[in-house]
Amino acid sequence: MFGRLESIESRYLELEKALSDPETLADHREYKRLAKEHAGLTPCVQALRKHRQLFSQFEANNDLLSDSDPEIRELAREESDKLKAQIQSLEEELKQLLIPEDPNDEKNVILEIRAGTGGDEAALFAADLFRMYTKFAELKGWKVDVLNSHATGIGGFKEVILAVSGHRAFSRLKYESGVHRVQRVPTTESQGRIHTSAVTVAVLPEAEELEVQIEPYDLRVDVFRSSGPGGQSVNTTDSAVRISHLPTGLVVTCQDEKSQHKNKTKAMKVLRARLLDIMQQKQRSKTAEDRKSQVGTGDRSERIRTYNFPQNRVTDHRINLTLYKLDEILQGEIKSIIDPLITHFKTESLMQIGHA
């Protein structure tokens, strides 16, 4: 652990030197980038230096434990116990500080919900999850903007894509990626049999233009009439936009706005998020072999949660958490699931640091 901390301190000193360099000061963007990195390392370096100071005091105090004066020896023992407790507490703090901060945690979110196996029932449950996440966002004071949706005629969604904007939105929602399974009796089921359906959720950090370079010649943009319901002006003009990213084959469609320009802007937002996700997945694949296990990678093929309506039960399979308040959870009260997930994955990270 201390080898890693000393490497961090070395980088901290390099940054201090770079930040005082006239060339860095003249480059506003580079200065801002380095200053942000420097600020991120400061708590760790300060705690390390405090640990050194306490350990030095502890060693000096130990010399007094063999003093000929019994009173001095007693005072030294008391001081030694006090310093030992402070050092142990600081070492726990240093372990916490060594957990790498996810650079995406501060970002807004692109949340994609898609009906999977189960036909109409899956589409209806996709609508349930859409409402659940929307209500959770409202409770957090976040803003939700529907970027694209493909509604069914019975009130469900084949697909709905949201932009969720708010303080550390990604840090709270990132563990929602995966397969969400629902068990309930469909309204069309006359014999009362329970059906199982599935919905996939993808949580992507919103990408800034600087993070993902998209060349205009890599895009094909098509416009067409929206297929949305209602027969309003939204589907009587060529306002819908389909953007194809030729190098990757990614295709994004947005048609919820009456304005072609607004639809294109929203489609580009989704495209940037998906391209950033591809880049980060590749990076994770490169580093995964150096780790004993991958924690919280957001694998969207993993079945993460089951919602059982007859028993009013929700089970998160990753942490073996079962709650009998499905009705409350669907009203946006998912903090009781999200908080234990965050604690679990943070503990996993600490254990990896302890065994490193």
Condensed to tens digits (0 to 9), the pLDDT of residues 194-226 reads: 899 999 999 999 887 666 778 888 889 888 877
Boundary (domain end) residue, out of 234, 254, 285: 285
* Sheet arrangement for strand 240-245: 219-224, 240-245, 250-254
Tell me the CB-side half-sphere exposure of residue 320, using CA atoms within 13 A.
0
pLDDT of residue 283: 67
Is residue 104 in a domain? no
% residues pLDDT > 70 (the chain): 87
Bridge partners, 37 (sequence order): none
How many structural domains compose the chain?
Answer: 3
Which stretches in the chain have pLDDT values below 70? Answer: 100, 188, 190, 209-211, 227-237, 283-301, 350-356
pLDDT of residue 354: 54
Q: Which domain holds residue 136?
A: 109-208+296-350
Question: What's this model's pTM, rounded to 2 decimal places?
Answer: 0.65
Is residue 70 in a domain? yes
Bridge partners, 159 (sequence order): 114, 150
CB neighbours of 233 closer than 8 A, spacing ≥ 6? Answer: 258
Closest CA to 279 of 143, 152, 104: 104
Boundary (domain end) residue, out of 98, 127, 143: 98
Q: What CATH number is associated with residue 42?
A: 1.20.58
One-letter amino acid at 95 equals: K
Boundary (domain end) residue, out of 237, 253, 285: 285
- The torsion angles phi and psi of 116, rounded to 5 degrees, stand at -110, -130
